Every structure is written in C-alpha cells, then in structure tokens.
Amino acid sequence: MDGTGVSPPASLLAEITHRCPLHCVYCSNPLELARREDELPTEAWLRVLDEAADLGVLQVHLSGGEPLVRPDLVTLVERATQRELYSNLITSGVGLTRVRAQALRDAGLGAVQLSVQGADTAVSRLIAGGEFWEQKMAAARHVREAGLPLGVNVVLHRHNLPQVTAVLELAAALGAERVELANAQYYGWALRNRTHLLPTREMLRKAEDDVAQYRRSGTTMEILWVVPDYYAEFPKPCMNGWGRLFLTVAPDGRALPCPIASVIPDLECPVVTAQSLRSIWYTSSAFNRYRGVEWMPDPCRSCPRRFEDFGGCRCQAFLLTGNAAVTDPVCIYSPHHSLVTDAAAAVDHADHGAPSYRNHPGTAQVSTPR
C-alpha cells in the first residue's frame, strides 16, 4: 500500500483506561496498570481516532479496563462515527445505564460486547471478585432496548466449562446475536492463577461436546469457540500476524502490536503523543520486529504453517521461555513444548487453592468472595 508491502491496519483496540470495577482472576492486562493520571486526555484520543481513520482502520474496539468509567466515551464514539469507523464497546456492563446505552446508540455505536463470567451468581462472584451479576443482566437489557446488537464474551476455565450449556442459554435469553467462548489464555493475571484456572482435557472435551450439541439445537446465535492453547497441537495465529491487521493503543498512549506486548521487556513501544500512528505502523521498530516471516527461528523458518500461524504468540513465547523470538511453546515442534504439556499434565494433581484477585488502582481492596 505504501510501497513497503505492509497492509494498512484494519482494527484499532483503544484501551481507554485500565480502571475497572471487576477483579477478574484471569485479567489479561499487564501486571503493572496505567494509572488514571497517566491516561490520555480526550483530545489525544480524538486525534488517535482521526489518524486511525486516515491510516485505513475500519473498526475501533473501545475497551479497557472498563471503558464506561471514562465520561468522554460518547464523545469518542461520536468521532469514530464521523470518521466512518465501526465502533464496538467491550464492557463488563457495570455503569451501562439505560440513558448511557441510548446516548451511545445516538452517537452511532455499532455494537456492544458484554462480558459474562458464568451462568450464575456464584461463578460470577468467584471470578469477578464481587457482586456484579444484576448490573450485567440490566446492562444487557438496556443494550437490547436501545436496539444495539449484543454479543456476549465468556472466558472459559475449569470453573465454568462444566456449565457451558447454561452459559449459552443465558446468552440466548439476554438476546445475544453472538457468543464468544474464549478459553482462558495464560498471560498477565491469568498466568499467576494458572493452576486455579487450567481445565483438564476431559473437561474440555465434554464442554466441546456440549457446545456442538447446543449448535445442533437450531440456535440462530453465532457461536465462536476459541481453542484452548495448552491443549492444542499448533499455536493460534496470534493477532493474525504481528503488525499485520491489529493495532492497540494502551491507556497511557503506548502503541502495541498486541494488547499484551508490553510484557516483552526490550520492546520499545512507540507513543501516540510523540509520533504519528502512520509512522508507528509502518516504520517503528516495535511493529516491524516480528512482522512477516524473516525474523523466524527454526522450526518455524522452514515450516509450511508459518503463513498460517505466524509462529504463534510472541508474548507467550516470552512468558514461558524468557525469549520472545522463539517458536510459541504451544507448537508440538517447539523445543520448549514440554513447558506447556507439563503444566497441563499437572492439572489433575494440582492444589487449586484460592485464586489471587486483581486490585485496580483507585479501587478498594476486595475481600475474598463468599
């Protein structure tokens, strides 16, 4: 497109805050969260949206943290709409009142993705570390009453895989058009709670059967099942390739090729207040570092799958091996594959204990839920 052979980004993940009322045990945000005073101001986000549109971004996912804690959310959606960006709100639902849902719709919001932690209040409380169930149910109603399309996102793990059918029934009852069942990925807080969350192979197999059976029941919901990494033979095509389609801007303005790329310690993340989004995308070292296939080591370098999975996840490679430039250990051809299989094999014997809850800056300490 610009003579480099690099395509423009299609999607911007705008993490407008790290503040969040929930304390989810699998939170994928970095262990070190951006503080409120470090968040980009409204004007900077508006410029990011303008630059993204000029660069060829088609969709913007407004996320966090909980994006509803930002009072300028409607203003940001309005700008996205003016620039013909399709906007998605990715939310816990906490703070999504009827008035707010209508204001977002009037601003041109495209769709809402609501996170649900489980099929009942007990699992919801165990995972989110507080009483959020009623607010989530109300939020779903407000979304539907505003005429906005609703998607339900569920992170799956050993505590809710056995109730996956009930989760699907809940999503249908809430009026969801789409359900994303994403098996937990072990980064950030989830890696810390891995033994508490990782399911057994048998649990997964049963849940997969349950989902297949539900699909056959004639549902009109689109159901997406995101394969659990640790039980896969090959890694996922993380971000569909580094610097290929996706661009994340963190609350403090750092631009990242992947939402959790800041875990890679020597990755110099460009900042949107210092550099244009265009130069970040096309010329920054961070976005070019694992772009394409040139950077790949063996066994990826000669593997026919390299254009399919792009070597897997750089962040997972780093978190498990200490080196972001090796093949994702999820791959059966990785010399580090035993790091994954050992963790999975240990599940049956593990002491699952109590999870560790994430506390957010500016929120009160949570007590262990009942």
Partner 1 sequence: MVDEGVIAGGRPRLRAKARMRYDSVRRSFVLLLPERAVLLSDTAAEILRLCDGSRTAAGVVAVLQDKYHDASVPGDVREFLQQAAQKGWIEWTAPA
Q: Name residues whose C-beta falls within 8 Å of residue 329's C-beta, 6 or more positions apart in sequence.
A: 316, 317, 320, 321, 336, 337, 339, 340
Residue from 111, 128, 207, 313 touching partner 1 (CB under 8 A): that is 111
CB of 314 to partner 1, least distance (A): 23
**Any contact of residue 151 with partner 1 (CB under 8 A)?**
yes
**Any contact of residue 113 with partner 1 (CB under 8 A)?**
yes
- Candidate segments 63-71, 83-91, 181-189, 341-349, binder of partner 1 by CB under 8 A: 83-91
Structure tokens belonging to residue 223: 């159901």
Q: Which amino acid does the sequence have at 91?
A: T
Integer Cα distance of 40 and 146 in angstroms: 29
- Candidate segments 105-113, 125-133, 230-238, 278-286, binder of partner 1 by CB under 8 A: 105-113
- Nearest residue to 294 via CA among 270, 275, 311, 279: 311
**Any contact of residue 63 with partner 1 (CB under 8 A)?**
no
For partner 1, the closer of residues 80 and 119 by Cβ is 80
**Any contact of residue 55 with partner 1 (CB under 8 A)?**
yes
For partner 1, the closer of residues 149 and 292 by Cβ is 149
CB of 190 to partner 1, least distance (A): 22
- Nearest residue to 73 via CA among 17, 150, 151, 12: 17
Residue from 37, 43, 84, 348 touching partner 1 (CB under 8 A): that is 84
Integer Cα distance of 288 and 311 in angstroms: 15
Burial class of residue 173, CB neighbours in 10 A (0-12, 13-18, 19+): exposed
The residues that touch partner 1, with contacts defined as CB under 8 A, are: 1, 8, 10-11, 54-56, 58-59, 84, 86, 88, 110-111, 113, 147, 149, 151, 177-178, 222
